[in-house]
Structure 1
Amino acid sequence: MTDDRAPRRGKVDRDVLESVVRPNLGAAREDVRLGPAHGVDFGVVDVADRAVVCATDPISLLPELGYERAGRFALSFALGDVAVSGVAPTHFCPSFALPSDVGDDEFEAFWAAVAAECEALGVAIPTGHTARYPGASLPWVGAATVLGVGDPDDVIRPDGARPGDRLLVTKGPGIETAGLFASLYPDVLAERGLDEATIDAAAALLDETSVMRDALAAAEAGRESAGSDGSDANETNEERTADADAGVTAMHDATEGGLRGALCETAEAGGVRIDVDSGAVPTNVAAVATCEALDLDPWACTTSGTLLLAVDPAAVDRVVATLESRGTPVGVAGEVREGSGVFVDGERVEPPAEDASWAAYERLSGRR
């Protein structure tokens, strides 16, 4: 029997991943420490005494943002999946399939912004591919593989959340969706009753869609010994072990599927239950207002820049203080428990069947 349902937009669902992708992963190699799995954003390959964290993501080019801003936005999305490993991205390898209506001057502006941001972040560009092809179209213009070369002990696995850990959430739901739609369709939002100040505040959120610096700062704070500032030098090893903490045990960038999807993926990857207090999740007023004006559930649409962290209770204060010192809103929003699933304010929630922003983008882009 054939399935007449239209394929979902965005990432394939878990059934396709498990039945089509995962059984067909090429050669089995001992150096692959972490491979593809549902809810897992990156892979890990061991090379000598180094861990190479790797992730591949699509590249978008949205001329309406301005080519420089579009370049920074595209790069932030690509780097995030490696940054949540706790290892800094070190190499960016893009492949561009450009449409013919993106001229050399436009691409130069886009690429200059990408390269400048890479330089600022210490990320090299060792290889790539750039071409124009018939049939290529905006906004998806290729893909990139990002590598992070680092200490194997620094890798924070996406399936590492443990019962007893606290759940931290930064920035809140709907950040990316609001920033993108307010930047692309301010007139639509004005027609739907949003005032200019709210639209401007929402558009500015597009510059908050990177998790890289937050993720790496949180990971470093988690690695600090609980007794590193003022511990007793006469403590026994046993006493130090009792006081030790595991720091940050898992991180996830809340991209496609939004905050709800990211929570479900984190719980599933770790084989745990997550209980969330929605009142403790940071909320950006402009983001929520923008999503609601477009009839979108802010918890079910992409919010790149919002970071979920499972953190050992002993490390929570250090991680929160580090994020707050960066000016990043963060809430201790829940707890990891034995069991399975995600419960928000006591009610079980499921991941969205499809990211809510896809239908909205299709509808709004068709107005032109």
Structure 2
Amino acid sequence: MDFEYVARKLYRSGAKMNEIVQTLKNMGADEEFSRALLEEISNSENINDSFVGYVCNYPKSEVSATEAGVGCRGMGDFYVHRKIAEIIGRTSAIIDPSSMDDGGAVISQAGDDKKIVVAVDGMHSRLGNFPFLGGFHAARAALRDIVVMGAEPLALFADVHLGTEGDVGKIFDYTAGISAVADVLNVPLVSGSTLRIGGDLVVSDRLMGSVGAVGLASKIVPRNYAREGDVILMSLGCGGGTITTAAIFHGWHEVVKITLNLDFFKGAIPLVRSDFITKLHSMTDVTNGGIRGDAHEISEYSGKKIVLDYEALRMTVHPKVLEMLDALDIDFMGVSTDSLLIIVNKKLAKDVASFVEEHGLPMFFVGEVREGHGVYLKKDGKEVKMMPEFREAPYTPVKRVVGTAVPKNWERAKRAIDDAAIKAVEKRKKIKELLFGK
């Protein structure tokens, strides 16, 4: 429970001090704590310096994270991501958030024309009670994101936030999960940060964190360079944090063991080190709301039509994972399977697939790139347009209740989100001018 959220909400509604104190006491806080919190809220809600007040107040959209689908890897989440990229704007990086890629890249200043590639991934929000799994899969995800951009991994860094009631052992278990990946792949975990969630004011044992990775590349392989006539390859995917979460909360616990592997890197890292890397047009990992989401973004940012074969796609999911997804009626195309996806010239496709397979990662021909726009699925002799849902396929019992439907007020919400993003840009500009003269 979040004492500050409740107290601040009541304060803003005009509730009397004694009423707020009593509410906090009913939640488990004592009198002294409650009144101290109220003093903090009163002072922070009534800032008497206009500049500080401007800095402290954020642009309100009146759209919640749930309403916007934030973190749910669907159309809502993608829309918010695009707004974040717009706020950052074009930068001096060769790959920045405007590319909506797996990570970012800058030119090394060492004079060797190398590219420094950076990516960060949050641990799955439902794995806080299973910290080793959370750390393991977040580390894998961050490393995948730099490898698919053509980089050799150099280092990992991590962040962890623990609730006030959280056992310190969770931090250690989370770190062990990250370092297990680091040790096996010989990529050192070099630094990190440890904080609490909401300081003293959020009573929870929740653990959240993220893992970042840094790599070095000679050639960047962005995911939006698909060309007409290219072939799309995908590796066998066993899933990561998403599949682990589905397995735990649906009782398919044996599937968790299947996800605990580093097979992706058996094929991907040798590929990055090979001469093939200079000939690939696009590479990514299938994570953003499954192939539905990733294919949509590749099509949108490359300006090409993506055509995928349904039966071939099914072959890219580990049989036991696919069995679970089918049994639970979870769309395998709408969840992260962590497959390696490569887009390459048709003449090279067979050689590239054979090379990756020789290093222990099975590959499949799943589609092609054509002139046009959109993503199409070949199934039962027909081509049908395939779109991501508003949220990824619901893979836990709770997510099934929440559903994937587009909110009724989504168009209004988008306008409000747009307005908040514009105001954030204006705020940055104004503060830069006031503080730094530019």
TM-score range, shorter chain: 0.7 to 0.9
Change (3 A) 1:355 1:140: farther
Q: Tell me which protein shows more helix as a share of its residues.
A: 2
Distance 1:55 1:136 in 2: 31
Q: For the Cα contact (< 8 Å) 1:222–1:315, is it kept in 2?
A: no
Structure-2 residue corresponding to 1:347: 384
Structure-1 residue corresponding to 2:271: 218
Structure-1 residue corresponding to 2:54: none
Q: For the Cα contact (< 8 Å) 1:92–1:126, is it kept in 2?
A: yes
Distance 1:280 1:325 in 2: 20
% identity of equivalent residues: 24
Larger-Rg structure: 2
Structure-2 residue corresponding to 1:24: 87
Distance 1:13 1:110 in 2: 26
What per-residue deviation string (whole Å, max 9, x for no partner) do you get for residues 238-259 of structure 1? xxxxxxxx63211111113112
| 1:113, distance to aligned residue in structure 2 (A) | 3.5
Secondary structure of 2:98 counterpart: coil
Distance 2:263 2:326 in 1: 23
1:131-280 alignment to 2 at 5 Å? 131-134=195-198, 135=202, 141-151=208-218, 154-171=219-236, 177-186=242-251, 189=252, 200=254, 202-208=255-261, 211-221=264-274, 223=276, 247-280=279-312
What per-residue deviation string (whole Å, max 9, x for no partner) do you get for residues 172-210 of structure 1? 586764443224442xx5xxxxxxxxx63x333212477
Distance 1:123 1:309 in 2: 24
Distance 1:139 1:336 in 2: 43
- Of 145, 153, 170, the match for 1:81: 145
Change (3 A) 1:173 1:280: farther
Q: For the Cα contact (< 8 Å) 2:152–2:272, is it kept in 1?
A: no
Distance 1:175 1:125 in 2: 20
Matched, 1:8 2:73: no
| 1:260, distance to aligned residue in structure 2 (A) | 1.6
Distance 1:355 1:326 in 2: 31
Distance 1:363 1:276 in 2: 26
Q: Which runs of 5 or more structure 1 residues have no equivalent in the other structure?
A: 190-198, 225-245
Structure 2 letter corresponding to 1:148:
G
| 1:332, distance to aligned residue in structure 2 (A) | 0.9
Structure 1 letter corresponding to 2:157:
C
Structure 1 letter corresponding to 2:373:
S
Structure-2 residue corresponding to 1:231: none
Change (3 A) 1:147 1:136: farther
Structure-2 residue corresponding to 1:301: 335
Change (3 A) 1:322 1:179: farther
Q: Which runs of 5 or more structure 2 residues have no equivalent in the other structure?
A: 1-60, 402-438
Change (3 A) 1:85 1:213: farther
- Of 331, 348, 369, the match for 1:315: 348
Change (3 A) 1:139 1:337: farther
Q: For the Cα contact (< 8 Å) 1:98–1:136, is it kept in 2?
A: no
| 1:285, distance to aligned residue in structure 2 (A) | 2.9
Structure 2 letter corresponding to 1:145:
G
Q: For the Cα contact (< 8 Å) 1:64–1:184, is it kept in 2?
A: no
Q: For the Cα contact (< 8 Å) 1:175–1:287, is it kept in 2?
A: no
Q: For the Cα contact (< 8 Å) 1:92–1:147, is it kept in 2?
A: yes
TM-score after normalising by structure 2: 0.65
Structure 2 letter corresponding to 1:165:
D
* Residue correspondences, number: 325
Structure-2 residue corresponding to 1:118: 182
What per-residue deviation string (whole Å, max 9, x for no partner) do you get for residues 235-283 of structure 1? xxxxxxxxxxx63211111113112211212222222111112222324
- Of 13, 30, 37, the match for 2:98: 37
Structure 2 letter corresponding to 1:286:
K
Distance 2:294 2:86 in 1: 24
Distance 1:3 1:70 in 2: 28
What per-residue deviation string (whole Å, max 9, x for no partner) do you get for residues 291-317 of structure 1? 1332311111122x2121101223222
| 1:166, distance to aligned residue in structure 2 (A) | 0.7
